[in-house]
Amino acid sequence: MIDNDLSRAVTNTQAAAAAAVVAFNASTSPELPGGQQTSFTTNARATAAASATSYATQQGVSEQRHINYRFWVQSLDGQKYCDWAPRAALLSQAIAARDEAIVAAWRFDTSQVISSAQREAFTTSQLGTTASRSQRSRSIRRGGIALMLLSPVVWVFAYFFVLVTGGQVSMQAILPIAWLLLGTGVVFAGVRMARPLPLDDASATAASVTRVALLGFDPLSQPARLPRTWTEDPKVGERLDRFMRDAYTNFPTPSELPALRIPDVRSGRTEASIQVRAVLEQFAATDALNRL
C-alpha cells in the first residue's frame, strides 16, 4: 500500500511539474491569443498583488506603505512590474513543482532501500543510545553532589599545599585553585562518562554504507535531510519568491527585475537515486525541446 501511494505521488508530482512548466512557457509565448493573454495577465496580476499585500500585512507594513504601493503600481515602473509579476509567479510555481517531483522520486527509492523493520531497528538502537546517555548524565549529577559532599578534601589539599610551600601561599589564595582543579577533574570525568559507547555492529555499518551508495546519504541517521534540488542553484526559487514579496515595499525599477527563465537542470550523472536520476533526465529533455 505504501509503495502504491509513493508511486502515485511520483506520477502526480511529475505531471504537476510538467503542467507548471507548460503554463510558464505559454505565458511567455508570443503566439498566445490576445484575449487569453489579457485574461491571464489580469488574473495572475491580481493573484500576485494579493500575495504581496498579504505578506506585507503580516510583516506589519504601515497603511501609508499600502497607499504608496497602490500609487506605485499605476506608475510606469509599477506597470512594468505588474507585467513581469504574473510570469514570475508561474516560474516560481514551476520551480516548486519540480522540487516536489524530485522529493517524491527520492522517497520512492528510499522505500525500496529501507524497510519498516530496518526503521524500527534503527529507532530502537537510537532509544538505547539515548537511555545510555541519560544514565551517564545522572552520573554527572551524582559527581557534582559528591564534589559538594567531599568538600573537606579541598581543605586538606589546600592545607597540604600550604605546608609544602612553607607557608608562602595562603589558604585564601589556594582554595579557589583547589576548587577549580577538583571541579574540572569531576566535570571532565562526567563528560567522558556521558559519551555513548561506540557501536561496533558490522552489519549496521554495511547497511548504512549501502543506503548512502543508493540514496546519496543515510536517511535513517539524517531523517530531516532531503535530496539535492533539481537545479545547480538550489536557492533560485527562494530568491524569486523573496523578490516578489519585497517588491511591495522596495518598488523595484524595470532594470532590477530578474530575467525569467527555467533554471538549468543539474547533471544526474553522479546522482545515486535511480528515480531521481530519471526525473532529472526527463526535466533536461523537456527543457531541451522547449528551447528548440
The 10s digit of each residue's pLDDT in 242-276 is 998 888 888 999 999 999 999 999 998 888 889 99
- The number of beta carbons lying within 10 Å of the beta carbon of residue 184 is 10
DSSP for 232-285, please give it.
S-TTHHHHHHHHHHHHHHH---GGGSPP--PPPBPP-TT---HHHHHHHHHHHH
The 10s digit of each residue's pLDDT in 63-115 is 787 788 888 888 999 889 988 988 998 999 999 999 999 999 998 988 888 86
Using alpha carbons, select from 111, 109, 81 the residue that is nearest to residue 255: 81
Query: Among 59-63, 126-130, 193-197, which is the least confidently predicted range?
Result: 126-130
Given a cut of 80, whether residue 144 has pLDDT beyond it is no
Per-residue confidence at 148, pLDDT binned at 50, 70, 90? very low
Average pLDDT over the chain reads 75
Per-residue confidence (pLDDT) for residue 253, from 0 to 100: 95
**pTM across the whole model:** 0.66
The 10s digit of each residue's pLDDT in 199-214 is 445 656 777 888 888 8
**Average pLDDT of the residues in 137-142:** 57
Given a cut of 80, whether residue 177 has pLDDT beyond it is no
Per-residue confidence (pLDDT) for residue 128, from 0 to 100: 42
The 10s digit of each residue's pLDDT in 151-160 is 555 556 556 6
Given a cut of 60, whether residue 175 has pLDDT beyond it is no
Per-residue confidence (pLDDT) for residue 151, from 0 to 100: 55
Cell numbers given for 103: 522529493
Given a cut of 60, whether residue 170 has pLDDT beyond it is no
Phi and psi angles of residue 265, each rounded to the nearest 5 degrees, phi first: -80, 135
Per-residue confidence (pLDDT) for residue 105, from 0 to 100: 93
Cell numbers given for 265: 537542470
Per-residue confidence (pLDDT) for residue 158, from 0 to 100: 58
